[in-house]
Amino acid sequence: MISLSFGGAVGLMFLMLGCALPQYNQYWPLFVLFFYILSPIPYCIARRLVDDTDAASNACKELAIFLTTGIVVSAFGLPIVFARAELIYWGACALVLTGNTVIFATILGFFLVFGSNDDFSWQQW
The helix (H) or strand (E) run that includes residue 41 is helix 41-49
Q: Please tell me the distance from the alpha carbon of residue 6 to that of residue 1, in angstroms, as a whole number.
A: 9
pTM here is 0.84
Q: For 54-81, how does the pLDDT look when each residue is reduced to its tens digit (9 = 90+)?
A: 656 788 888 999 999 999 999 999 999 9
Contact present, 46 and 67 (Cβ < 8 Å): no
Q: For 72-120, how does the pLDDT look when each residue is reduced to its tens digit (9 = 90+)?
A: 999 999 999 999 999 999 999 999 999 999 999 999 988 888 776 655 5
